[in-house]
Amino acid sequence: MRMKTRPWHHLSVREALEELGSSPRGITHEEAAKRLALHGRNELVERKKKTPLMMFLGQFTDFMILVLIAAAVVSGVIGETSDTIAIMVIVLLNAALGFSQEYRAEKAMAALKSLAAATATVVRAGTPRVIPAAYLVPGDIVQLEAGNIVPADMRIIEAARLTVDEAALTGESHPVEKHAGMLQEEALPLADRKNMLYKGTIVAYGRGAGAVTATGMETELGRIAAMLQEQGEVKTPLQKRLSDFGRKLSLAVIAICAIIFAAGILRGEKTVEVFLVAVSLAVAAIPEALPAVVTIALALGARKMVKQNALVRKLPAVETLGSVTYICTDKTGTLTENRMVVEEMWVDGRTIKAHRAEGMEQRVGPDSCFMPHAPYSLFMTALALSNDARFDSAGNIIGDPTEAALLAAAHERGYEKTALEASCARVAELPFDSERKLMTTIHKVTAVRDRERSAGIGAAEKYISFTKGAFEAIIERSPFILTSEGQRPLVQEEVRRMHDRMAEDGLRVIGIAMRTWDELPSDLSPTHVETGLALIGLSGMADPPRKEAAESVALCRTAGITPVMITGDHPLTAKVIARQVGIQDRDMPGAMITGSELAALSMEEFEERVESIRVYARVAPEQKLTIVRALQDKGHFVAMTGDGVNDAPALKRADIGVSMGITGTDVAKEASSMILLDDNFATIVKAVKEGRRIYDNVRKFIKYLLTTNSGEIWTLFLAPFMGLPIPLVPIQILWINLLTDGLPALALSLEPEESDVMKRPPRHPQESLFARGLGVHAVWVGLLMAAVTLPLQAWVIHTGKAHWQTMVFTVLCFLQLGHVLAIRSEKESLFRQGLLSNTPLLVSVLAMTGLQLVTVYVPFLNAVFKTEPLSAGELLVVLFLSSIVFIAVEMEKLVKRAKKP
C-alpha cells in the first residue's frame, strides 16, 4: 500500500484501488491478516473507565468534605465522639448520593454503546463473506445496502441509487446522494465528498460497494473520538462557586480561631479551655450540612428533570443551565423534526401551502392517471405513483425521506397509492441516479374518461410516464407545461422565478413532469423517455422546525441567554431555519458565517466577531470546538446541544453538554452532562428554568447556613470580650447545627421558582456566591442574632437565674427558625407567598420547634443537652425575642421592593 498524494475523493476508482493495493475482488485473507497486524482492529480506543472504588473515593476530594473530615477528627480527639459520628454520617451520605448518580450514569452509557453494529459484508479473494467489523482493514471491499451502518471510511467504487444518512457526522438534514465518480476539487468539506463513505453513517437507500481507506482511530469518527478524549472535564459554575466559598470560609475559620486562642492566652486563661473554645467556634463556623444539602437538592432536581425528559449524568449539571449565557445548538433533530415534509407546491400557476388546498380539485378515481385538464390531480397522482416509498402494516412510511415526504403529501390529500396502482399499474421504470438526477416510472392506463374519449382527447393514450427530480434537470427536458386549459409552451422565466423564490425560503425544490405514450416505448433509455416532457408542477420540501422551537428560543432570549445555531448543513437552509425559530433576525448583518469563512479568520479576528454571530453553517467538528472555546475566552458560560458524533468534542468542552436521547449517537451521549430524552429543544428551556430555581435555592440555604452560623460565631466570639462565660457547650452547638441547618435548609431547596426567574439575565460568569448582598446579609443578621442573645444572657445571669444557658440555647435556635421563614424569597413577603406554598419547610420548622422544646422539657434529655425546664414567662420572653430577626429581614425585603423600578 503506497502513500497517496491526493485526497481519496480526488482519485478515480482505479487510482484509489491502486493506492490501496486492492481490486474489485478485494484482498486475500493472508494480506488481510498482515494489514490487521499493521493497522490494528477497526475499533475506537476508549479511555480507561473509573472503577466503582475510584468513583466512591472521588467523592471525598472536595475541599469542604476534607474540612469536615478534619473537624470530625478534631472532635474525636477532644472527646466529642457524638460530633464525630454526626459529621461522618453527613460526609458518607454525601458520598453515597454522588457515587450512586455517577455509577448509574456510567452503566447507562455502557448499555447504550453495546447497541452498535458489529458485522460487515466484505469481499476477499472475490468471495463475499460476513465478518466482525473490527477485523476490516484498509483495502477491503465492503458491500452495503439500505439499513447498513457504514463500518469504516471508504472510497465508493460502485453505487446504485445509493443515498446515505450522514446527519450524525456532518449535520446534513437529509440523506446524501452518493456516486463513484472522481471529484475535481481537492479541498472539499466532509459533507460535499459525494464519493466517500464514513464510519458510523447509515445507508438510507440503494446499494453500493466501497474500498476501505481508513479504520479505527484513523477514520473521521476516530479523529473526533481522539479530539473528544483530549478535552478535560470543565468545572461547572456551582463547583467553582462552592470551591471558592470553601476556601474563603476556611480562611475565615482559621483567622477567627487564631484570634480567640491568642486573646484567651493573653488574658491568662488555661490553654486547654481556650483550645476548646476555638474548636467550638470552628465547629460552629463550618456548615457541615452544606455538602449534603447541596447534593440532595441537586439529586431532587435531577429526579424532577427526568420527569421533564432531561436525564442528568452529572449532578452539578442540574444547576449549570441556570448559569449559561450562550446555548450553542445543532439544527438537525434539535431545532427541526429531522424529517422531510412538503411545505409548498406550485401547480397550474398557483402556489399551494402544504396545509391548504383551497380551490384545487381533489378527485381520485380510476381515471386519475390521465386528466389533462386537472393538473392538480395529475400532480398528486404522480407524487403517489412515481415513488418507491410505501406504508408498512403499522401505517408508517418506509423509504427514502424525499420520497416518503412526497408520498405523505399525496396520502394526506386522499391520493392513495394502492388504489391508484389498481388502474395505473407501473410497467417500467428508469431508476434515479446522481448523474442525471431524475427518476421516471411508466404506467399503463386502464381507464380513460368517456368525456375525454368522445372529445377525441387521449383516446389512443394507454401509457403515461411521470418524471421527477432536480429542477434544472426537469426544466431542461420540459418544453411544455400542463395547465387547467391544457398543455401550453413552457415559459422558463416564470418557472425559474418561482423556483428561486422557493429556494430562497430554504426549500428543496423537486420538479414533476409527465409524458403520454400510445404504446409502451421499446427504447427505455433516458435520452428517449425523458425528453419532450410537460411540467406539471414543483414541490418544495424542508425539514421543518419543531413546533416548540420558536417559543423556546424566545424564552431563552427573554432570560438573557443567546441561542446560536451551529450546523453542518447548507448556509441557506441554516439561515431560513434560524429566522423561522427566531435565532437570527432579518436585520442582523454579519450574523451568519460558514466554515470556510471561519477557517480564514485568525483566533483573534474570530473572537472579535464571535459575540455577534448567530448562525454557523457547513462547519467541521474542530470548528465547533473553536466556537465554544472562543465564547469561553470572552467570559461566557456555554451550553452545547447536539446529537451527532461531530458534536461530541464541543459537548465535552462546553460548560455543559446536552445530547439527544433518541437520535443522539453514543459518542455524543458519552460526552454530555445531560441527555434530552425527547430530543426537544423546548426541554432545554425547562431545564434552564429548573437550573435557575435550584441555584436560587442553593443561594437561599447558603445564605441561611452562613447567617445562622454567623450568629453562633458572633455570639461565641463576643461573649468573652463582654465578660460573659461561653454561651453554649459543644453538644448544644452541634444540636443547633443539626437541628436548624438540616431539614429547614433542605426544605429551602424545594422552594418554588420566583415569578421573575426567566425574566432576569443570567448571573455573571464570575459572580461569587456572596454577590447581591448575601455576604452583607449574613454579617448583619448574624450580628443581630448576637445582639439579641448576648444581652439576654447578661440579663438572665444578672437576675441570678441558673438556667440562663437554656434560654440562650433556645433563643438562638428559634431566631434561626424565624430567619429561614423570612428568606424564602429575595424580595417577596412571606405573607404574600403564603405559609403553605412550601409545605415541607413549614412542617420542618414546626418539627424543629417541637424537638427543641423536647430538649428543654424532657428530663432525661436535660442531662444530655445541659438544659433545664423554662417557666411559662421565660418561654414567652424567648418567643418574643426570637421574632426580632424575622421582622428585621421582612423590613429589609420591604426596602428592596420599594427600590425596585
Q: Hunting for cell 448509574 — which residue is that?
A: 104
Q: Is 587 a catalytic residue?
A: no
> How many Å apart are CA 434 and CA 427, to the nearest integer?
23
Q: Would you give the DSSP letter of residue 317? A: H
Beta bridge partners, 159, equal 208
H/E stretch holding 346 = strand 341-347
> How many Å apart are CA 220 and CA 826, to the nearest integer?
51
Task: Find out whether 727 and 789 touch, Cβ atoms under 8 Å.
Answer: yes
Beta bridge partners, 488, equal 481
Burial of 785 (0-12, 13-18, 19+ CB in 10 A): buried
Task: Find out whether 486 and 544 touch, Cβ atoms under 8 Å.
Answer: no
> How many Å apart are CA 468 and CA 387, to the nearest integer?
9
Helix/strand/coil for 563: strand
Q: Hunting for cell 461561653 — which residue is that?
A: 726
Considering only CA atoms, which of 99, 16, 86, 98 is closest in space to residue 52?
99
> How many Å apart are CA 732 and CA 87, to the nearest integer?
15
What sign does the dihedral 362-363-366-370 (CA atoms) show? negative
> How many Å apart are CA 627 and CA 633, to the nearest integer?
10
b/e map of 37-71 (b: 16 or more CB within 10 Å)?
eebeebebeeeeeeeeeebbeebeebebbebbeeb
What is the CB-side half-sphere exposure of residue 360 using CA atoms within 13 A?
Answer: 25
Give the active site residue among 62, 83, 165, 330: 330
HEC string of 260-296 equals HHHHHHHCCCCHHHHHHHHHHHHHHHCCCCHHHHHHH
Considering only CA atoms, which of 845, 843, 834 is closest in space to residue 752?
834
Considering only CA atoms, which of 544, 575, 582 is closest in space to residue 561?
582
Considering only CA atoms, which of 232, 318, 316 is closest in space to residue 629?
232
> How many Å apart are CA 739 and CA 848, to the nearest integer?
6
Beta bridge partners, 489, equal 480
Considering only CA atoms, which of 886, 719, 726, 729 is closest in space to residue 790?
719
What is the CB-side half-sphere exposure of residue 759 using CA atoms within 13 A?
Answer: 4
Task: Find out whether 715 and 786 touch, Cβ atoms under 8 Å.
Answer: yes
Task: Find out whether 343 and 507 touch, Cβ atoms under 8 Å.
Answer: yes
What's the Cα-to-Cα distance from 688 to each of 173, 300, 326, 559, rounded to whole Å?
27, 16, 12, 9
Burial of 466 (0-12, 13-18, 19+ CB in 10 A): buried
What are the residue numbers of the active site?
330
